[in-house]
Structure 1
Amino acid sequence: MDEYNALPQDGEEHEEQEEPRRPGAELYEWLQLFLGCVVAAVVLFNCVARLTRVDGASMDNTLQHGEIMLIWSLGYTPQQGDIVVLNKTPVVLSGWLEPRAIVKRVIATGGQTVDIDYAAGTVFVDGQPLDEPYLPEEMYLPFSPTMQGTHWVVPEGSIFVMGDNRNNSTDSRDLQLGPIDTDYILGKAVLALWPMERFGAV
């Protein structure tokens, strides 16, 4: 009696049998993918970039109340003219119920001087007038007694910020707030995301 030959004959292909997948293997792979995406999102939105919402009218018309924007954090160094989001400061200003994050424009950085000529409606940094086409109207001397200053020296490691809507902005001009330590900077506003008609670079 001939023995059974398990080897493939000439011209025949040998097909390997795939091992059956263990029950739940596909679900486990999907869970791994999901958790990986969650971790990546957490790292992205805490260390690289994040979303934030504009609260108030101090940046009109550049940014508007309720607008959602993307801010960049990784490796960011503040520069004059940047729009930045500042974390909750230890100061509770008039009209605030608690410390809160604010969105402002960087006017000067550490070591620079800021002077304001309200009669001319002009801001000077290191003696040079700023060209500010983004201002919605002429700047007037604030009524608040804590915002009557006209000369500041920005300490190293700090920034001097102002809102574009100068006549409706609580910012570094206020004696209670003043120049802000760079440790409070969350990042630079780079992209307006919502509403769609406002979509675009900041």
Structure 2
Amino acid sequence: MVWFETILVALTALTGFIWLLDKLFLAKRRAAAAGPLDEVKEPVAVDYSKAFFPILVLVLGLRSFVAEPFRIPSSSMMPTLLIGDFILVNKFSYGLRWPITNKKFLANGAPERGDVVVFRPPHHPRQDWIKRVIGLPGDTVGYHDNKLTVNGREVPYRMEGVYQGLGQGAEMTGASRLTEGLPGRPHFVLRRDDTPLPYQGEGDWTVPEGHYFVMGDNRNNSEDSRFWETHFLPESNLRGKAMIVWMNFDRQADHWVDTSRIGKRIP
């Protein structure tokens, strides 16, 4: 949410400026203008700035450099993440970045194959999306007939049964729920074998340096690298690594809050 981040930075800067201006100049002028017995009152703007500036700095620091909350708005990462999940994203796993510009100023690791990442897609740079890293720089990724290959090796699948969706995810009821044996990071995916070929996103792609190939776990309902014009996610667009679900809220479900999702680790 770029707009929220921009507002938060602006409010932090404004309250900090007012507080500093009062401390250096305005407070002295008020004291000099007041009589010896007069009560010196602070303007409302100064009073509010002193109260809110430390809070805003703390919130901005936590969101920018420690962990940031995000809400899952779509079904593209089902069954790993459901519509209405609220997640925490680790902001220092891939290096620290300045708010708004997302420019990295401290390197600290890189995504591994299978990581679930939040990023700004190249064609929607003001939005935050979430997908799974499938291809690392130098990898060749293939997707044909609903099957994934990485560097020429077919990723194994194990059928786990038919998926039963709930709430806003009910539309995925009937899809196959499988374990995808991505090397080092097996995870569940959803797949519909009756999806027409143009919507499967078939092809082969070699990931250039400084980029990643990402896909949603809901393979037939995800706008991911297979369908982008550029196909690849630049490293500079990364926002962080998804860690944990801290809340689920879905008004279309029988129980609006699914407490079983709280604290669920994101594989």
- Taking structure 1 as the reference length, the TM-score comes to 0.71
Q: 2:148 aligns with which of 120, 123, 126?
A: 123
Change over 3 Å in CA distance of 1:49–1:142 after alignment to 2:
farther
Give ranges in structure 2 of 5+ residues lacking alignment. 1-39, 42-48, 95-109, 156-180, 249-258
| 1:41 match | 59
Relative to total residues, which structure has the larger helix share, 1 or 2?
2
Opposite residue 124 of structure 1, the aligned amino acid is T
| 1:188 match | 241
| 2:17 match | none
Opposite residue 197 of structure 1, the aligned amino acid is S
1:182 CA displacement: 1.2
Opposite residue 73 of structure 2, the aligned amino acid is D
Give ranges in structure 1 of 5+ residues lacking alignment. 1-22, 25-30, 92-97
Stretch of structure 1 that moved more, 133-142 or 102-111: 133-142
1:78 aligns with 2:89: no
Q: 2:208 aligns with which of 141, 152, 155?
A: 155
Checking the alignment, whether the CA contact within 8 Å between 2:134 and 2:214 is kept in structure 1 is: yes
Report how many aligned residue pairs link the two structures: 170
Q: Percent identity?
A: 31
1:198 aligns with 2:252: no
SS in 1 for 2:56: helix
1:135 CA displacement: 0.9
Opposite residue 160 of structure 1, the aligned amino acid is F
Question: 2 CA distance for matches of 1:175 and 1:194?
Answer: 31
Opposite residue 135 of structure 1, the aligned amino acid is V
1:52 aligns with 2:70: yes
RMSD of aligned alpha carbons: 3.0
Checking the alignment, whether the CA contact within 8 Å between 2:93 and 2:240 is kept in structure 1 is: no
Opposite residue 65 of structure 1, the aligned amino acid is I
Runs of 4+ in 1 over 6 A off after TM superposition: none
- Taking structure 2 as the reference length, the TM-score comes to 0.55
1:33 CA displacement: 7.8
Q: 2:128 aligns with which of 80, 101, 104?
A: 101
Question: 2 CA distance for matches of 1:139 and 1:106?
Answer: 23
Q: 1:90 aligns with which of 113, 119, 123?
A: 123
1:137 aligns with 2:191: yes
Checking the alignment, whether the CA contact within 8 Å between 1:139 and 1:166 is kept in structure 2 is: no
Checking the alignment, whether the CA contact within 8 Å between 2:212 and 2:234 is kept in structure 1 is: yes
Question: 2 CA distance for matches of 1:78 and 1:140?
Answer: 33
| 1:169 match | 222
Change over 3 Å in CA distance of 1:129–1:138 after alignment to 2:
farther
Question: 1 CA distance for matches of 2:83 and 2:141?
Answer: 27
